[in-house]
Amino acid sequence: MNASMSSLPPVALAPAPPGDLAALIAPVPPLTPACTVQQAGERFLEPAVAGLLSLPIVERGRVLGCVTRHELMMRVYMQPYGRELHARRPVTALMNAAPLVIAVDSAIEAAGQLIGARIQSPITEDFVVTDAAGDYVGMGVVLDVLRALEARVGEHTRELESAYRRLKASQNQLIQSEKLASLGQLVAGLAHEINTPLGYVQNNVEMVRNHLPAAAETLAAYAGVLDAAGGDDATAAQSAQRLDDALAAFDPALCGDLASLLDDTLHGVHQIADLVASLKDYSRIDQARSENVDLHGLIESALRIGGHLLRRRDVQVRRQFGEIAPVTCAPAQINQVLLNLIGNAAQAIEHDRGIIAIRTQASGGYAMIAVQDNGKGIPPDVLPRIFEPFFTTKPVGQGTGLGLSICQQIVQAHGGRIAATSTPGVGTRFVVALPVAGRSGARA
């Protein structure tokens, strides 16, 4: 038996590779019930089992129990006359008949749990591994399992960390793409807002331009008639004919029409100028934070840019502006918050008596902006979820559900807060509070 043993591979002492239990098993030849205590003691001295705390006693594959190094030391070698008393007795006399037995197909975590439930301090015992039929397979070292578990936890932690990093990155990407999407919406809105006046401005100018020669000809024909008044009949008839022709091409009544076309044109040009001015405010996007930002100006510019959202339902805007000090903030970002809130409010209004009230007031170092609508409201079970990214009640393709989550991020990054209250069927109010001095009063 000893001879056959020495050819066996040594017990794995190296840190166990992470993996399932099977990888950690040392197929140690077991003791038989016939072994003496003396023989067991000799087995423990073999280098091949140097890392094992206990040895199994197996009969025809069945595990009868284990004998531990600790037991041998304490009961045999360290006791006076211990050797004499016990050496010749069968090893079964000292064995633990209920050792920890773990099935070979267990996962490391499951084995770890079993060990944890049984573990004593100090650790005096390793565990027996059996196959599905309950037959002896080998021994497992408790410390190996603990090391493997530790390695695995480390691995999980790393996985978690990298998953977290990936999530974070994709969230940033999403925010980035939301910015792009809102830039796309902005461009679409602006293109429409500008191209509409540009359409009639260009057309009107062209039409007036085309009528001018005929108008000039009419004037000249009138002058001709005046000049011919004192002349002969033939000249008078000729100039009268010229006037008739000119009047056929240009009826002076048209002047009224042309004047109103030019009024429209002026109106359109002003509208375009206004839009361009708002765009300038909006495009201070890279200019991060600035001091002394006039929130009322930001509100006006958001209203202008979001004009098409409001006109869709003929929504009335009511301003109740209080006294608020200039604020340190990133104007483009606050503009985006306001645009999102105004957009949501406009979208919530499904009737034609829509009103959006925008109130401002100062309160304890904060500038407060409230955006209130008389739209359909938010049911109480939905209200807690509206700031979640991707939460939307709008049909697929119409809402990203990112609007409010972006608002919240922006406001929080400013050291401020945003909250909503709503009564279904009556309306919704969002309040944004921004610290006047910027985040923690520091210059960002």
Partner 1 sequence: MSKPCLLLVDDEERILRSLAMLFRAHYDVVATTDGVEALKVVRSRPVHVVVSDQRMPAITGVDLLRQIRDHSPRTMRILLTGYADLAAVEASVNDGEIFRFLEKPWDALKLQDAVAQAADIAHAEFAEPIRVAPPPEAIVAARVLVLDEDPSTAMLVRGLLPPSCAITIATTVEAALARLGEAEHAVILAELKHGSDDVIGALKLLKQANPHTLAIACSSLRDGRLLIDLINQGQVFRFLPKPLGRELLRRALTAALDRHAQLAHDPQRARRHAVEAPREVSLPSRVMDYFRRIRENARQKAAS
Helix (H, G, I), strand (E, B) or coil at 331: helix
Contacting partner 1 (CB under 8 A), which of 113, 162, 203, 363?
A: 203
- List the single partner that 348 binds among partner 1, ligand ATP, Mg ion, none, CB under 5 to 8 Å by kind: ligand ATP
If phi over 0 gives left and psi between -120 and 50 gives alpha, with beta otherwise, what is residue 441? left
- List the single partner that 416 binds among Mg ion, ligand ATP, partner 1, none, CB under 5 to 8 Å by kind: none
400 binds partner 1 (CB under 8 A): no
281 in Cβ contact with 331 (< 8 Å)? yes
- Name the residue nearer to partner 1 (CB basis): 196 or 238: 196
Between CA 126 and CA 232 the distance in angstroms is 137
Work out the number of other CB atoms within 10 angstroms of the CB of residue 352: 8
- Name the residue nearer to ligand ATP (CB basis): 15 or 184: 184
Q: At closest approach, how far in Å is the CB of 324 from Mg ion?
A: 25
Size, binding site for ligand ATP by CB under 6 A:
22
Distances (CA, A) of 271 to 160, 184, 262, 304: 54, 21, 14, 10
Among the residue ranges 44-52, 312-320, 327-335, 344-352, the one whose residues contact ligand ATP (CB under 6 A):
344-352
- Name the residue nearer to ligand ATP (CB basis): 424 or 441: 424
- List the single partner that 303 binds among ligand ATP, partner 1, Mg ion, none, CB under 5 to 8 Å by kind: none
Q: What is the DSSP secondary-structure string of 242-284?
A: HHHHHHHH--TTHHHHHHHHHHHHHHHHHHHHHHHHHHHHHTG
200 binds partner 1 (CB under 8 A): yes
- List the single partner that 195 binds among partner 1, ligand ATP, Mg ion, none, CB under 5 to 8 Å by kind: partner 1
118 in Cβ contact with 31 (< 8 Å)? no
Contacting ligand ATP (CB under 6 A), which of 204, 335, 336, 344?
A: 344
Which amino acid, 414? H
Between CA 103 and CA 218 the distance in angstroms is 110
Q: At closest approach, how far in Å is the CB of 399 from Mg ion?
A: 6
* Interface map 246-285 toward partner 1 (x if CB under 8 A): -----------x--xx--x--xx-----------------
Angle between the N-to-C axes of helices 295-305 and 142-228, in degrees from 0 to 180, rounded to the nearest 10: 70
Between CA 306 and CA 276 the distance in angstroms is 13
372 binds ligand ATP (CB under 6 A): no
3-class secondary structure for 344-404?
Answer: HHHHHCCCCCCEEEEEEEEECCEEEEEEEECCCCCCCCCHHHCCCCCCCCCCCCCCCCCHH
Q: At closest approach, how far in Å is the CB of 18 from ligand ATP?
A: 43
308 binds ligand ATP (CB under 6 A): no
Q: At closest approach, how far in Å is the CB of 262 from ligand ATP?
A: 40
378 binds ligand ATP (CB under 6 A): yes
- List the single partner that 314 binds among partner 1, ligand ATP, Mg ion, none, CB under 5 to 8 Å by kind: partner 1
Looking up tokens 């979001």 gives 306
- Name the residue nearer to Mg ion (CB basis): 293 or 402: 402
- List the single partner that 373 binds among ligand ATP, Mg ion, partner 1, none, CB under 5 to 8 Å by kind: ligand ATP
- Name the residue nearer to partner 1 (CB basis): 217 or 264: 264
Helix (H) or strand (E) holding 57: strand 54-59
